[in-house]
Each structure stands twice: as C-alpha cells, then as structure tokens.
Chain A
Amino acid sequence: MDEILKIEHLTKKYDDITVLNDISFTVKKGEVIVIVGPSGCGKSTLLRCINGLEGINDGKVDIQGKTGMVFQSYELFPHMSVLQNLMLAPIKVQKRKKDEVKTEALQLLERVGLSSKKDNYPRQLSGGQKQRVAIVRALIMHPEILLFDEVTAALDPEMVREVLDVILDLAKQDKTMLIVTHEMAFARAIADRVIFLDGGEIVEDTLPREFFDAPHTDRAKRFLKTFEF
C-alpha cells in the first residue's frame, strides 16, 4: 500500500525543552492511527508539526498530498453561516466551482445529519454540532490525511458519541486518519494501530488489541491504569 505520511527522526524543541524527540513512523493509505498518551506528552504538537503550524528542529515530515485538521475548540468562523464556513476554502483556495462545492457541502451535511442547520451561525449550534461541521469543513477539501486533535475533549458527555460516530463512519470509508484522543474505548474500536507517546517519545507503536490487553512497557501499563476504577 502507498505511504501517505512518512516521519523520520522528527525533533521539536521550545527553547531548551525537547517536546518531541526522534519520532519516526509511517502512515499508509486508509490507515487509522490513534495517538494516546498523558497530557503534555507532545501529541498535539506532533499534529501541529505534521500540518506545518509548527516548524520542526530536526528530521523530516513527508506528506503525499494535503492534510486536513479538526481542532478541539472547533474554530468555525463565527461571522459565517454553516454553509459559508464549508464553502469558503474550496472556492477561495482550490478555485472550485460554487455550484459543485455547494452540492458536495449539502451532501456531507446530510451525511452528518445537519442539513437543517445549513443557514445557521455557529453560535446557534451545540458543541457536538459545531464539531461535526468542523469535520465536514476539513473533509470537503479532500485531504489525503485527516488530523483530529482531541476533538471530543471540549464536549459535554452526551455529545461525544455523535462526533465519534461521524469519525467511525469516515473510517468505514477508508479515510486515512491520525487521531489524538482520550477516549480509550473509541481508540480501541477505531484504530488500526495505536501509538503511545510519553515524554515526547514513541513508547509503543502496536496493534490496539495488543496495546490495551497486553502493553509491553511499564509506562503504558501505568498510563492505562489511570483509566481504570
């Protein structure tokens, strides 16, 4: 299978502090990779390095195509309606035809169950609805790889499910995705591979069943313990 993303020896520092240390892994087309790890382990920074929001100090990030990113805080444009939010980038950045973009936007909204909200402003939506729109906004650009940065962390518990369902649906469509999350049950269900990041290093890069049932390292065991009662 084709490699969409290849990261080699990526190192990222803020002043003297090393946030990511010698990270290497590859993502193949259609793969869903879940990145887990304690707060401050560098997960979000890793995503930001991949899509170029942060510069890197050493190593190489090689992407075949475009990335799309979904943020924890949605970041819809508050001065535009849902449909305008979806259509602005395809029209302005990719110079696609308005009619064609609109048709696709409506189809995608239908798919995430938000057709009726197309003319609403972000402030009129719930957190879960906003996040579904944000996912569609990334999706409509046809990125080769989608990056999800703790997209359910800011949501009320009852809204987490509706967003995760959308992502599960994307996995079924063989989208390539890199997901940072704290939802362990979800990670286990959706991941083709789990990367466990701790202290800026990849500690485990393995199959979900293996990671959750029989982690190799003590650090992973300790991390998973924090989710038990």
Chain B
Amino acid sequence: MGFEVLLKGKNLIRLFEGLGAALKISLISVIISIFLGLILGMLMSLKKPVINAVTRVYLEIVRIMPQMVLLFIVFFGFTKMTGKNISAELSSVIVFSFWGTAEMADLVRGCLLSIPAIQYESSKALGFSKLQTYIYISSYRR
C-alpha cells in the first residue's frame, strides 16, 4: 500500500512534529476553555437578561459556524486588519478556545441549574455567602 513513504526522508519525523503541534494546541486550548468556561458558565447561571442575550448569540455562533470558517476569519482577518501576520498555531488556539469555552460554559450552566433550588435555599439558611455556596455546595454536587 505504499507505507514505505512514511520512512522516506524526514516524513516520519514530520508526522511526529505534527502530532506534537496538535497536542500543544489542544492542551493550551483546553486549559483556557476550562478556565474561561467556568467563569462564563457561572455568569450564565445568574440568569441576567443582558448576559443571557449576549451568551445566546455567542453560543449560536459556535453552534452553527464551522471551525474552519472561524479559523479562516482569525487567520486571514487578523492579518488584513493589522497588517501583521498571525501564526497558524496562535489562530488555532484562539479558535479552539473560543469554541471550547462555549461548550464548557454551557455544561457548567446546565450543571449549576440542575442542582435543586432547595440546596441553595438550605445553604442560605445555614448562612453561607453566595461565593461560599458556589464553592462548597454547587461545585461538590457535580
């Protein structure tokens, strides 16, 4: 089947370099997504109209725009706007974080809202502050 092509020249090394780049981009994007997603998810669970409207548009963009399109926009659009080149790696990190944050935030929101209201009420009755409730009640349940 022509697998020998893998062994020609530096092909195999190049493949592993590709794998390394993919892993690096994924790892950085995952970390950023988790961090930003947690914050955004908590904001969304507050059910404030303005936040809801903005995040709905954001989530809808992520829901319907192919990642390739987003990559194009960042990669070509950034250069066009600033006149400076942006590296492919940085473009990828930006797009994947943009996408991952949305997914993560939606998950966090869903989890926070699925905790029964009585849990919040009882923690309030026990005198926990809002922040303490988040840290000790909400995050343990899921």
In the complex, is A directly touching B at CB under 8 Å?
no
